[in-house]
Amino acid sequence: MCNRQAEVKGEAMIEGARVQKLRQAFANVFGGAPDLVARAPGRVNLIGEHTDYSDGFVMPMAIDRDVLVAVRRRADSQIRLHSVDFGGVSQLHLGAPVARDGMRTWSNYPRGVVHILLDAGAPLGGFDLAFTGNVPSGAGLSSSAAVEVATLQALDALFGLKLPTFEKAKLGQRAEREFVGVACGIMDQAISAAGVAGHALMLDCRSLETTLVPMGAGIAVVVTDTSVVRGLVDSKYNDRRAECEAATAHFARTRSDVIALRDVTADEVHDAADALGPVVARRARHVVTENARVLSAVAAFRAEDLGEVGRLMVASHASLRDDFEVTVPELDLLVELACAQPGVLGARMTGAGFGGCTVAIMPTDAVAGYVDSVVPAYEARTGLTPRVFTCEASDGASVVG
Ligand code: ADP
Ligand code: MG
């Protein structure tokens, strides 16, 4: 049992060896060496959930798991894409509109990036690209944003595009929204592009202004995947967006400066409860109180009051459970077990919900106890085996070789 954490950590091979392995895979598939290798991390959101599409505040950190992309220019206008992890090569030609690949769906993320870069007028030529990653896919740690941002980082360097950091984030988001077809906010691509080691980032999703939030020493960020198979996420996510828009429309009728729920106070939501109806009022209350919790968390981190950060995380979870209604019993159970564990300062669901992961903060020396107690207790109650990832706050995208 004591080895569980080590098992999961052991999956993360040291960066140099992974880059070397990718170079080898590139050579096996395309022959010769890549011109360069770039990386971009996954992320975990510490607090500020379901606020991004209301122009609100979020506080993600980039994690020490990433996607590596190796690229080499070609003299012609062919593009060849290879996934080391999924296998296969997907090809396209710069002369034709970029189409989706229905067979090799992993290629739609780099294809989306190519499509958006061309749409933005970037001077691309042909290239060969191979990529690999250790961000668990579909667990809510945003492997898709890592693929997009790593691809953008690699092509930026290969073709000398000189894209500013947040331009990469916006282009990655557009690739996911307009090409892959997932209506995501800007958070995932922004933190993957702009993360800073040792820090979380408070991101204003309206202005894209960021505030560096020092994490402090000796604090562990522990992500636990419920291993619940997520269903109906897209439709429920769209329902929540529509409910937030309905609330916004109500306030905008009397206040022309209201563009999103970001612009509304908790008192206004309280006073409008009857007009909004019980469901929409609860959704709006989550958004406005969650935005306030993010700002409080910035202050608490700065004051090195991690106990307060933990309390804000627990309050965030309760709001997501009771007002926004995006948790499932397994997420509630994991948070309950985590909070009962000695040393754990706070825990909450993270990501879109309806399954996925929790995030907990605790002193580093409490992690072993968490793994030894919470994991078997969760298994016994649910029959599901959770995966635990101990994450360090890492730098955003870069060229690594
Ligand atoms: P999440 O972003 O939460 O991890 P998504 O469903 O948005 O989950 O994205 C997962 C998809 O991203 C995978 O199904 C795959 O198509 C692509 N992807 C992620 N990591 C890799 C990888 N290492 N290699 C190839 N494709 C990947
Ligand atoms: Mg994703």
- Active site annotation includes 188: yes
Q: What is the pLDDT of residue 56?
A: 97
8 A C-beta contact, residue 106 and residue 117: no
Tens digit of each residue's pLDDT (9 = 90 or more) over 60-104: 999 999 999 999 999 999 999 999 999 999 999 999 999 999 999
Q: What is the pLDDT of residue 5?
A: 44
Residue nearest to atom 19 of ligand 1 (CA): 143
Residue nearest to atom 5 of ligand 1 (CA): 138
Q: What is the pLDDT of residue 1?
A: 33
Tens digit of each residue's pLDDT (9 = 90 or more) over 105-138: 999 999 999 999 999 999 999 999 999 999 988 8
Q: Quick check: helix, strand or coil at residue 239? A: helix
Token reading at 133: 């990653």
Give CA–CA dist 309/314, Å, rounded. Answer: 9
User: For ligand 1, is residue 192 a contact (CB within 6 Å)?
Assistant: no
Q: Which of 111, 144, 192, 234 to mutate to test the pocket of ligand 1 (most atoms within 8 A of CB)?
A: 144
Query: 401 pLDDT band (50/70/90 cuts)?
Result: confident
Q: What Cα–Cα distance (Å) separates residue 113 from each residue in 25, 40, 81, 309, 364? A: 22, 14, 12, 36, 38
Q: Which residue intervals of 196-348 are DSSP H helices?
A: 233-254, 266-271, 273-276, 278-302, 306-322, 329-339
Please tell me which residue in 188, 225, 263, 323 is annotated as part of the active site.
188
More confident site: 181 or 320: 320
User: For ligand 1, is residue 291 a contact (CB within 6 Å)?
Assistant: no
Distance 108 CA to ligand 1 centre (A): 10
Give domain limits for the chain: 2-47+60-208
Q: Burial of 10 by CB count in 10 Å (0-12 exposed, 13-18 middle, 19+ buried)?
A: exposed
CATH (residue range 2-47+60-208): 3.30.230.10
Give CA–CA dist 349/320, Å, rounded. Answer: 8
8 A C-beta contact, residue 67 and residue 188: no
Distance 319 CA to ligand 2 centre (A): 23
Please tell me the number of the ligand nearest to residue 108's CA: 1
Token reading at 27: 């050579």
Q: Is residue 27 within a helix (H) or strand (E), and if so which, with residue range?
A: helix 15-30
User: For ligand 1, is residue 67 a contact (CB within 6 Å)?
Assistant: yes
Rounded to the nearest integer, the mean pLDDT of the chain is 94
Distance 140 CA to ligand 1 centre (A): 10
8 A C-beta contact, residue 225 and residue 11: no
User: 151: how many CB neighbours lie within 10 A of its CB?
Assistant: 30
Q: What is the pLDDT of residue 3?
A: 39
Distance 184 CA to ligand 2 centre (A): 8
8 A C-beta contact, residue 311 and residue 222: no
Q: What Cα–Cα distance (Å) separates residue 56 from each residue in 51, 288, 318? A: 5, 8, 19
Question: Quick check: 241 pLDDT over 70?
Answer: yes
8 A C-beta contact, residue 139 and residue 356: yes
Query: 232 pLDDT band (50/70/90 cuts)?
Result: low
Tens digit of each residue's pLDDT (9 = 90 or more) over 344-400: 999 999 998 999 999 999 999 999 999 999 999 999 999 999 999 999 999 999 999
DSSP 205-236: TTT--EEEEE--TTEEEEEEE--PPP-SHHHH
Q: What Cα–Cα distance (Å) separates residue 33 from each residue in 19, 46, 89? A: 12, 39, 17
Atom of ligand 1 nearest to the CA of 176: 7
Give CA–CA dist 120/297, Å, rounded. Answer: 37
User: For ligand 1, is residue 109 a contact (CB within 6 Å)?
Assistant: yes
Distance of alpha carbon 145 from its chain centroid, rounded?
Answer: 7
Residue nearest to atom 2 of ligand 1 (CA): 142
Q: What is the pLDDT of residue 13?
A: 56
Atom of ligand 1 nearest to the CA of 85: 24
Tens digit of each residue's pLDDT (9 = 90 or more) over 134-171: 998 888 899 999 999 999 999 999 999 999 999 999 99
Tell me the average pLDDT across 233-245.
89
Distance 80 CA to ligand 2 centre (A): 23
Tens digit of each residue's pLDDT (9 = 90 or more) over 185-209: 899 999 999 999 999 999 999 999 9
User: 259: how many CB neighbours lie within 10 A of its CB?
Assistant: 14
Give CA–CA dist 176/156, Å, rounded. Answer: 18
Give CA–CA dist 153/219, Å, rounded. Answer: 30
